[in-house]
C-alpha cells in the first residue's frame, strides 16, 4: 500500500497533534545541533511520537526540513515586506536608507528576543542558510526576488550611487544580519569580557542601523 501522507498545501491545520509536535521538535533540534547531526529518531523521541511519524506526515526527513524552512522564510519575508511597505507609505514611496535597513534587520531581531517564542526559528533559518541542501536553492531563488524590492528601494533612496555599489552594500548588510547566531554572540561575549549582551534587541537594532546606515552612505 503506497499510502501518501495527506499533504495539505498551506493551511495544514489538521487535527493531528503529532504533526505539529514533530514540526516543533525538529525545528528546535535542527536549530540547536544542525540538520545532519539530528536523526529522525532524535526528533520523534523529543516529540514523544512514533518513529514512522516523520515519513508519514512529511514524506521524508528532507521534506520535513524543507517544510520548516519554507514556512519560516515565508513568514520572515512577509514581515520584512510589510515593514518595507509601511516605510513606503510613511515617506511617499521613497523611504530613507535607515528605514529600509530597519525593515531588513528588525524582523529577525525581534524574533530573536529571549521573550519571543520564535527565537529558535531565527536560529533555524540562519543555520539552514549555511547548510542548505540543493533542494532549498529554489526557495532561495524566491528569496532573491524578495530581496530585489529592498535593492530597488535602496537605489531609489540613493540614486547617486552606482547600482552595483548598492548591491554590494546590501550584501554586506545581509552578512551582518546572518551573523547573529548563538555561537557568534557567545564569542563576542567572551571577547568583550561580558561587556556585550544581546538581550536588549532594541539596542542591538540601533547599533546595527548606526553601523549599516553609515556604511551605506559612505
Partner DNA sequence: TTCGCGTTCAAACGATCGTTCGCCTGAAGG
Partner DNA sequence: CCTTCAGGCGAACGATCGTTTGAACGCGAA
Quick check: 92 binds DNA (CB under 7 A)? no
Nearest to 139 by CA among 193, 42, 194, 63: 63
Sign of CA dihedral 106, 199, 124, 9: negative
Helices (H), the chain: 17-33, 40-47, 53-58, 61-90, 97-111, 119-130, 137-157, 163-178, 182-191, 201-216
Quick check: 179 binds its own copies (CB under 8 A)? yes
Quick check: 216 binds its own copies (CB under 8 A)? yes
What is the DSSP code (8-state) at residue 198? S
Quick check: 51 binds its own copies (CB under 8 A)? no
Query: Could you say which residues in the range 8-27 bind DNA, by CB under 7 A?
Result: 14-19
Task: State in angstroms the smallest separation of the CB of 36 from DNA.
Answer: 8
In terms of CB distance, is 12 or 75 closer to DNA? Answer: 12
Quick check: 116 binds DNA (CB under 7 A)? no
Rounded distance between C-alpha atoms, residue 23 and residue 65, angstroms: 9
Quick check: 45 binds DNA (CB under 7 A)? no
Count Cβ atoms below 10 Å from residue 25 Cβ, excluding itself: 20
Binding site for DNA (CB under 7 A): 1-3, 5-6, 14-19, 38-42, 49-57, 60-62
Binding site for its own copies (CB under 8 A): 34, 36-37, 127, 130-132, 140-141, 143-144, 147-148, 151, 163-165, 167-172, 174-180, 183-184, 187-188, 190-192, 195-196, 204, 207-208, 210-218
Amino acid at each position: 500500500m503506497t499510502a501518501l501522507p495527506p499533504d495539505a498545501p498551506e493551511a495544514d491545520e489538521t487535527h493531528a497533534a503529532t504533526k505539529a509536535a514533530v514540526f516543533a521538535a525538529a525545528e528546535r533540534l535542527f536549530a540547536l545541533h544542525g540538520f545532519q547531526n539530528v536523526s529522525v529518531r532524535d526528533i520523534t523521541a523529543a516529540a514523544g511520537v512514533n518513529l514512522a511519524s516523520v515519513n508519514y506526515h512529511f514524506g521524508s526527513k528532507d521534506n520535513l526540513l524543507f517544510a520548516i524552512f519554507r514556512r519560516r522564510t515565508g513568514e520572515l519575508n512577509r514581515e520584512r515586506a510589510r515593514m518595507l511597505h509601511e516605510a513606503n507609505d510613511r515617506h511617499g514611496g521613497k523611504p530613507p536608507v535607515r528605514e529600509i535597513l530597519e525593515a531588513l534587520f528588525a524582523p529577525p531581531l525581534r524574533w530573536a528576543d529571549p521573550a519571543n517564542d520564535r527565537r529558535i526559528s531565527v536560529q533555524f533559518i540562519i543555520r539552514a542558510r549555511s547548510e542548505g541542501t540543493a533542494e532549498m536553492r529554489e526557495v532561495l531563488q524566491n528569496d532573491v526576488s524578495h530581496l530585489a524590492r529592498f535593492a530597488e528601494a535602496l537605489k531609489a533612496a540613493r540614486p547617486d550611487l552606482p547600482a552595483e555599489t548598492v548591491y554590494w552594500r546590501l550584501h554586506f548588510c545581509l552578512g551582518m544580519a546572518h551573523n547573529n547566531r548563538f555561537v557568534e554572540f557567545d564569542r563576542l561575549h567572551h571577547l568583550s569580557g561580558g561587556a556585550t549582551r544581546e538581550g536588549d534587541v532594541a539596542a542591538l537594532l540601533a547599533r546595527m542601523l548606526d553601523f549599516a546606515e553609515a556604511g551605506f552612505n559612505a
